[in-house]
Amino acid sequence: MTPNDGDTIVARATARGIAAIAMIRLSGADALDIAQKCFSGANLSSKDSHTAHVGFMQSDSKTDLDQVVVTIFRAPSSVTGENVVEITCHGGEMVSHRILDALVNEGARPAEPGEFTQRAFLNGKMDLAQAEAVGEIIHSGSRRAQAISLAHLKGSYSVVLHELREEMLDLCGYIELELDFSEEDVEFADKNRLSDLLERTRALLEGLIESYRYGSVVRDGVHIVLAGRPNAGKSTLLNALVGFDRAIVSETPGTTRDEIGEETEFEGMRLQFVDTAGLRNTTDEIESEGVRRAEAAIRKADVLVYVYDATVGMDDEEQAYLDKLKISAPDLQVFVIRNKCDLLNEYDALDGQYALSALQSMKDEMLITPLLSDVVKSVEAKENFGEGSFVVTNERHRYHLGKAYDSVVAATNALSKNMSGDFIALDLREAMNELGAITGATASEDILDRIFSRFCIGK
């Protein structure tokens, strides 16, 4: 895998399907020449970088294919660091397909998945963490996930890792220099500075590793299970929460027998709801399976919304179930809903419970806003996330941060025991390698190929 393999690559940069416009991107040393062979407008070779030109794309038989806008970006001032040409044509499958064929016939090679971003990385336009952020932005499922990925793309997270790695490298060099002059009893590495660096690094890595719990929730969404006795109004509440009739609602108990999932976004957070079968003892084989699945879903949930019928009340068995659940699953956030309060003439407020009517909430979403707001706040409080903190959302990054943390702890222990600089330097270099694997400084070719192969074609 090299950035200068001689190929000029081409791919559609916009999604397939009917649309107003489509964009086709070329990248490589011959991008301008290949585009020119198919373009009847301006002489691209004489035009400045970052300029746009109107003309017609043509086939090899000089048949006009479409009127287009061609924008050129000369190396190294382009997204890939190579010569880049972006051709904006009318949308639809046929037009873009014929233009792609014409460019391939003139020498361009169809791009592999993620190859444009891979070339940007290999040509130093971004590091590996920033390149992965591109894919995360594309796949982000909420505003918060997109915002975190955009922060990574901007590079502030990479800068912190790079500066930390550089400081480690300096100190490691001094330690190894001391070893070369060990017989002369010369000290090049300041032990206080080294101790301070190790402590700062340990605290920073610990914070980044801890942030992954929150980051993974932001990335994947908060998994919220609706549970309770049959006919408590769980399905009506699900419909109110997502804003449309997702689940079948019936006065007949036991209507929901399988999990029903739907998601929405609230305060920038992706919320994934699962409506489950009513919890009760039953001889019905299908309903019993639904109950088992409901209990399994609760064990996997981030948040449990337990719904009971206010006209019936919560019996001792239900309360005992909730009390037991809070002990067996202490990390599970539990919200208790007194549903159907609109059917009561009056009712007392109960601490820790939300009195509402799922049916009325279908008509007025503000009735469930406090519940959703508290759900989001509970997740943030549990993960102890602070505004302005770096948030890790990538499992690969979390793994390498964990390995780097272990090496820093080992180096700290070696220093406190006055062990030979050999051990400290070895641990520091292992930590540097792990941080380098995140930014791409030490990542293997196989790892790079695996990462970029997950991208879509044209990115």
Is 375 domain-assigned?
no
Task: Report DSSP state, residue 456.
Answer: P
Query: What ranges make up the beta strands (E) of 135-277?
Result: 222-228, 260-266, 269-275
DSSP states along 14-64: S-SSS-SEEEEEEESTTHHHHHHHTB-SS-GGGSPSSEEEEEEEE-TT--E
When divided into structural domains, the chain yields a total of: 3
Same domain for 258 and 355, yes or no, is: yes
Same domain for 187 and 63, yes or no, is: no
- Average of per-residue pLDDT across 392-401: 95
Residue 181 pLDDT > 90: no
Residue 262 pLDDT > 90: no
Is 51 domain-assigned?
yes
Same domain for 247 and 295, yes or no, is: yes
pLDDT value of residue 433: 94
Q: What is the CATH number of the domain that holds 44?
A: 3.30.1360.120
pTM recorded for the entire structure:
0.79
Higher pLDDT, 391 or 4: 391
pLDDT value of residue 388: 47
Query: Among 95, 124, 153, where does a domain finish?
Result: 124
Query: Among 366, 383, 405, where does a domain finish?
Result: 366
pLDDT value of residue 394: 93
Residue 187 pLDDT > 70: no
DSSP states along 270-298: EEEEEE---------HHHHHHHHHHHHHH
Same domain for 142 and 119, yes or no, is: no
pLDDT value of residue 89: 97
Band of pLDDT at residue 12, cut at 50, 70 and 90: very high
Same domain for 251 and 298, yes or no, is: yes
Residue 121 pLDDT > 70: yes
pLDDT value of residue 356: 82
Is 424 domain-assigned?
yes
Determine the structural domain holding residue 37 and report its residue range: 9-124
Residue 365 pLDDT > 80: no
Band of pLDDT at residue 1, cut at 50, 70 and 90: very low
Same domain for 255 and 211, yes or no, is: no
The answer for 340, left when phi > 0, alpha when psi is -120 to 50, beta otherwise, is left
377-385 contacts at long range (C-beta below 8 A, 24 or more positions apart): 378/303, 378/333, 379/214, 379/217, 379/222, 379/269, 379/302, 379/303, 379/333, 380/214, 382/331, 382/333, 383/210, 383/211, 383/213, 383/214, 383/217, 384/210, 384/214, 385/211, 385/214
Query: Among 66, 90, 124, where does a domain finish?
Result: 124
Q: What percent of the chain has pLDDT over 90?
A: 45
Is 447 domain-assigned?
no
Which tens digit of pLDDT belongs to each residue from 214-257?
A: 899 999 999 999 988 888 888 888 888 887 666 555 455 555 55
Distance CA 119, CA 3 (A): 6
Q: What is the CATH number of the domain that holds 361?
A: 3.40.50.300
Contact 210, 216 (CB under 8 A): no
Same domain for 260 and 153, yes or no, is: no
Is 224 domain-assigned?
no
Q: What is the CATH number of the domain that holds 154?
A: 1.20.120.430
pLDDT value of residue 347: 67
Task: Sheet with 333-339: list strands edge to edge.
Answer: 260-266, 269-275, 222-228, 303-309, 333-339, 353-355
DSSP states along 102-135: HHHHTT-EEPPTTHHHHHHHHTTSS-HHHHHHHH
Residue 458 pLDDT > 80: no
Is 130 domain-assigned?
no
Band of pLDDT at residue 79, cut at 50, 70 and 90: very high
Same domain for 340 and 406, yes or no, is: no
pLDDT value of residue 348: 66
Band of pLDDT at residue 331, cut at 50, 70 and 90: confident
Is 445 domain-assigned?
no
Higher pLDDT, 365 or 311: 311
Same domain for 248 and 357, yes or no, is: yes
Residue 258 pLDDT > 80: no
Is 87 domain-assigned?
yes
Same domain for 234 and 350, yes or no, is: yes
Residue 346 pLDDT > 80: no
Provide φ and ψ at 354, rounded to 5°: -110, 115
Considering only CA atoms, give the Rg of the chain.
29
User: Across 28-42, 344-358, 386-400, which has the greatest mean pLDDT?
Assistant: 28-42
Q: Which of 111-115, 173-177, 416-420 has the lowest mean pLDDT?
A: 173-177
Same domain for 61 and 179, yes or no, is: no
pLDDT value of residue 314: 86
| Mean per-residue pLDDT of the chain | 86
Same domain for 81 and 118, yes or no, is: yes
